[in-house]
Structure 1
Amino acid sequence: MQKDMIIKRLREEGCRITKQRRMLLDVILEEECSCCKEIYYRASKVDPGIGTATVYRMVNKLEEIGAISRKNMYKISCGAECDREDACTVEFDDNTVKHFSAKTWNRVILAGLKAYGYVNDQKIRSVEMQSCM
């Protein structure tokens, strides 16, 4: 959705379009933010007075009107030593879903990178993904 359409939908939902909401919308549309904390961090640089609750409410409202989908926001920051069990979920076009721990996901990525000649003896520090949807 374009900014003007999103603002129109927010107004239809009874939202006042404040300076903070416009700024949050700009941050979300201009940046590739992967989570509310990242949106807050970037927004607080523009407006130090913004609260985390404002960010979460705005993200919830944008999701509610269909402007964004948190399902498609991904950021995996676990390295090879991370014990996180739910680090990655892969959904295939036949609706099959596979869940990977951080260690397993890093091994899969590293094997693929080695197979294509992208790495030698390096270790993965982090992997970041954005959905194509």
Structure 2
Amino acid sequence: MPYLSEKEINELKEDLKKKGYKLTPQRRAIVNTIIENEGKHLTTEEIYDEVKRGCPEIGLATVYRTILLLEELGIIYKLDLDDGCARYELAHEGETHRHHHLVCNVCGKVLEVEDDLLEVIENKIEETYNFKILDHSVKFYGICNDCKK
């Protein structure tokens, strides 16, 4: 199972410290759960269910507060797949933009597109509208390969 490296833990501790927070065992468990489930785009409740297995004393409110804090620090992104649930994924170091997602209309599977395909379009928008783009979120809806069969 992937866990935070010592360097990543120290960076996270520093980020939290600057904001007046500590990396408590509960927060560490939440971050590790998100890392372990990378690519699954878990909801807060799903993160809570996973964390509770190893940390039975944790409360749902703690998970909600921690998720908001991690999002504020840029450690995770909120992902809205138009299904009424906020889902979360890790923000990777060096990523200038969130990656794109493919959402299956049949089974609900979410696939990640690793390439940033919008650089040319972004440059054109910035030039035409004199608008500095900081990030974007793109979702494509369709039918996955498994459901097409």
TM range (shorter): 0.5 to 0.7
Change in CA separation of 1:44 and 1:76 when aligned onto 2, cut-off 3 Å:
farther
For residues 43 and 17 of structure 1, the distance between their equivalents in structure 2, rounded to whole angstroms, comes to: 15
Quick check: 1:34–1:75 contact (8 Å CA) kept in 2? no
Q: Does 1:34 align with 2:34?
A: no
**Where do 4+ consecutive residues of structure 1 move more than 6 Å?**
96-99
More helix by share: 1
Length-normalised TM-score, structure 1:
0.56
* Residue 69 (structure 2) aligns with: 61
**Rg larger in structure:** 1
Indicate the RMSD between aligned Cα atoms, in angstroms: 3.7
Write the deviation string for residues 51-86 of structure 1: whole angstroms up to 9, x where unpaired: 222112111111111112124747957536x8xxxx
Amino-acid identity (%)? 26
Structure 2 gaps of 5+ residues are 1-6, 80-87, 90-100, 126-136
Structure 1 residue runs without a partner (length 5+) = 111-121, 125-133
Per-residue Cα deviation, 1:17-74 (whole angstroms, up to 9, x for no partner)? 3221121122223331512222112101111221222112111111111112124747
TM-score, scaled relative to structure 2: 0.51
Aligned length: 103
Structure with greater strand share of residues: 2
